[in-house]
Structure 1
Amino acid sequence: MSSNHSVLSEPEFEQAVHEIESTLAPLFKEQPELERAFKVLQVPERVLQFRVVWEDDKGNCHVNRGYRVQFSSVLGPYKGGLRLHPSVNLSILKFLGFEQIFKNALTGLHMGGGKGGCDFDPKGKSDNEIRRFCYAFMKELARHIGPNTDVPAGDIGVGGREVAYMFGAYKALRNEWSGILTGKGYDFGGSKIRPEATGYGLVYYSTHLLREFHGQDWQGKRVALSGSGNVAQYAALKVIELGGIVVSLSDSRGALIATGSAGFTADLVAKIGELKLKGGYLVDLGELEGFKYLAGQRPWTQFKNLDVALPSATQNEISGEEAKFLVEAGVLVVAEGSNMGSTQEAIDVFEAARASGKGVNGNAPVTYGPGKAANCGGVAVSGLEMAQNSQRIQWTEAEVDDKLKNIMEDCYNICFATAKRYAKEGEIPSIVQGANIAGFLKVATAARQTGDWW
């Protein structure tokens, strides 16, 4: 099957395609026709680009570029977040949307894959400026989305405030109340534990990796986290609840490292959450007893002994060199709370360690959990929010948490079963290969059955 499509000018998207394709060789050997399906899936069903014109508090007119990449609807309505950040471009949104296809497939829920956003920077903007921008953005986006077509959610730069404004704009424009966005406030159709879901789900998934491959739990484990937004905060709180010791958090300006044995407390994590809501940075905390702040650095090379690493900030935040350091530090599990949190070089380091069968100090080698599986808890609860909206009901926190735990367990089980099915004789199964094959196979099979390729 020939294609003139080139992704050479889209490095993030090219990396995402390569990461998945590099693990599919055993599947293509069994079913060569699936290579055609992979070529088809690399091309979005639709890419929308539009201008967003808004007015600041001084009456000045500004224009930004808005996007929505509707990648695959074979399993359900397009589903994926909206990102507001100056770095937003088509390469990043296509990489995120492509990953979203397979992530959503692994949840077992009826959701396709998509992603969108704008190169607007919400930092430093007033509440009224955010509101005017959100209404202008939704004025253009509303014509392309709907509860059975495309259901966006939040992402970087889009929290509860922004989702609420966009929901209000859609309702006003269309004169209808529908579950058009997820991550809404609970009083107008949101779900319990949606803010916590990605972080909680990351820890639930990592629990299975610890138990299956290392026969251990969280008690006393030293856990390095990057990021300090929702994902990192709630992952940290869940680790602390389960008896682990959180030794780092970070943001775009630097890393906060625990030097004492106690690590981060739940109270300190809550304080950081309040700081982030106000637009602050970790450096603004000042000097803290038992901690050191490292400007312009990431946490991965700061520890000689480490049990778990949970990258939860942004893409490509663990390099190949940092991955080597983590392996030498004896890390048991690396699981991504962020999307494509590890570079391809880092993944190669983790996978080489796995294939060698040799860890540090007699332990089993590192187990790598890719973001499309490990962080699917957020979109899973978004799917549960869609279900609640359709039925006009709301479940309790315990009900949603139980469903999330079950989804993460089912996701892990299908990844592990597929990894075992395609593992080389005598090798420890590769979870990244299992996740990629399982997610791709589900989407490709449905696409063939509905005539999207043949």
Structure 2
Amino acid sequence: MVAPHEPEFQQAYKEIISSVEDSKLFDAHPELKRVLPVISIPERVLQFRVTWEDDQGNCRVNTGYRVQFNSALGPYKGGLRFHPSVNLSILKFLGFEQIFKNALTGLPMGGGKGGSDFDPKGKSDAEIRRFSQAFMRQLYRHIGPQTDVPAGDIGVTGFVVNAMFGEYKRLRNEYSGILTGKHMLTGGSNIRPEATGYGVVYYVCHMIQYASKGSDSISGKRVAISGSGNVAQYAALKCMELGAVVKSLSDSKGTLIAAGPEGLTPDIIYKVQELKDKRLAIADCKELISKHKYIAGARPWTHVGEVDIALPCATQNEVSAEEAEALIKAGCRFVAEGSNMGSSAEAVEVFEKSRATGEGCWLAPGKAANAGGVAVSGLEMAQNAQFSTWSHAEVDGRLADIMNSIFSQSTDAASKYCDSGKNNLPSLFDGANLAGFVRVARAMEAIADWW
């Protein structure tokens, strides 16, 4: 049922299974167990050829995918990823995670994911546009506002989303909310670029308040962040806005660590944004790496020094067991995944043992902590359906409310179905899995989606 040659999907599936089977959920609701073999299989997997022309006039070929995993709660919803590592295992893992993440938002969205092994790095804007249009020429037959609404992910920037939206409009002669993350002038939403990063920080704030019984905040906390895309950038800016000290950013080539105790500053984040908009690495900016500590080929976790909070915001399995142990020794007490499945299975064990035995390092899984992005995508869908645009403040307020709800759902489900640790900190990892699973399972039960 879960192929051994799909390690990422196997890991994501085992995480859900272990949470629900090791809890008291099936003792209380044995009828929900019948969902397990059904929910592990996508409703539909699409694979297609994408041919496009490079700037030299050569025909290039890539493989495109869309995994439409579960639509019990609403249209399939999930990003498109353009990266050479893309394969079915990664997309099935991401689509599977998306089912439960979307469920936690409380919005009517199913789960899906897609993308291509196309690599935007080293390509001109014209080549990226031609590829994006060619990709949409294959995908458009299978999506729609009431069927499947993709969004951006790694390698799929606003530029790419806009190119795909324009191609869809030409193909269908239809102006509809077929994609989220669009330009504001073509149906996009305020706060969408910032949403995932802001949401992660809002979630961490709830963790700190809960653990301290309301007596502490994120202000003054030292924060290690990995990644340098939208999620990392806006998480860093929100942390700074709330008074925290950001100590690091990273990309696939290395890690930038603040030279002094005051941490990185907003102007550094804006410089990194400029680099990433040009598809350049942090190492390409001599000004940054000369003023701060730069470690080539490394992630921040074992180099950043003493920290209170860690926000993995790069990619899956970016924190190993050894790095998890190093973070705990460095004083880290809160870990919130801005990336999907950011901690390896072994790292999750380390963090969960720390929480349960009273050392107090508390892990928030990606499906809960980084759900702010898809939450605002859902709000963009609502605005498109109404042919309206909500203000920056209204969308941000709704995002904050949704992250509060996700935190409450996670703690409530963990308290109800699992045992708390010595510090009386419920497992957010199990709680998010359980809360999302119950919501999806009840929807599948309501429409007899397991027959």
TM norm structure 2? 0.97
Distance 1:180 1:121 in 2: 24
1:72 equivalent among 70, 73, 81: 70
Say whether the 8 Å CA contact 2:356–2:421 is kept in structure 1: no
User: Deviations along 1:131-157, whole A, 9 cap, x unmatched?
Assistant: 111111111100000000000000000
Kindly report which structure 2 residues correspond to 1:378-397, keeping only aligned pairs within 5 A, or say none. Answer: 378-397=373-392
**Aligned with residue 434 of structure 1, among 431, 436, 447:** 431
Task: Name the structure 2 match of 1:118.
Answer: 116
Aligned partner (choices 410, 415, 419) of residue 420 of structure 1: 415
Matched letter for residue 405 of structure 2 = D
Distance 2:128 2:419 in 1: 52
**What does residue 354 of structure 1 align with?**
355
Alignment of structure 1 residues 25-424 onto 2, 5 Å: 25=21, 26=23, 27-214=25-212, 215-286=215-286, 288=288, 291-357=292-358, 359=359, 365-424=360-419
Q: Name the counterpart of 1:362.
A: none
For 2:3 and 2:403, the matched residues in 1 are separated by 32
Q: C-alpha displacement at 1:422, in angstroms? A: 2.0
Compute the displacement of 1:21 (Å). 1.1
- The 1-side partners of 2:209 and 2:399 are apart by 19
C-alpha distance in structure 2 between counterparts of 1:426 and 1:122, whole Å? 45
Structure 2: state its 5+ residue gaps. none
Q: Cα–Cα, structure 1 residues 425 and 390, in superposed 2: closer, same or farther, change >3 Å?
A: closer
How much has 1:6 moved relative to structure 2? 3.5
Maintained 8 Å contact 2:420/2:427:
no
* SS at structure 2 position matched to 1:393: coil
CA distance in 2, matches of 1:209, 1:129: 44
Contact 2:248–2:304 under 8 Å retained in 1: no
Unaligned runs of 5+ in 1: 360-364
Tell me the distance in 1 between the aligned counterparts of 2:79 and 2:420.
40
- Amino acid aligned to 1:68: R
Q: Contact 2:356–2:420 (CA<8 Å) still a contact in 1? A: no
Aligned residues, how many?
444
Name the residue aligned to 1:446. 443
2:116 counterpart letter in structure 1: C
Moved over 4 A (4+): 287-290
TM superposition score normalised by structure 1: 0.96
Measured after TM superposition, the shift of residue 304 of structure 1 is 3.8
Q: Give 1:347's aligned amino acid.
A: V
Identity of matched residues, %: 63
Contact 1:88/1:117 (<8 A) preserved? yes
Matched-pair contact (CA < 8 Å) for 1:255–1:294: yes
TM-superposed deviation, 1:224 = 0.1
Distance 1:185 1:144 in 2: 23
Alignment root-mean-square deviation, CA: 1.2
The 8 Å contact of residues 309 and 331 in structure 1, kept in 2 or not, is answered as yes
**AA paired with 2:439?**
K
SS of alignment partner, residue 204 of structure 1: helix
Deviates more, 1:242-251 or 1:128-137: 128-137
Amino acid at match of 2:412: A
CA offset digits 1:326-371 (Å, max 9, x no partner):
11112110000000000000000000011101x2xxxxx0111000
Contact 1:191–1:395 at 8 Å: present in 2 too?
A: yes
After superposition, the C-alpha distances for 1:200-251 in whole angstroms (9 at most, x for unaligned) are 0000011000110134211111000000000000000000000000000000
Task: Determine the structure 2 residue equivalent to 1:12.
Answer: 8
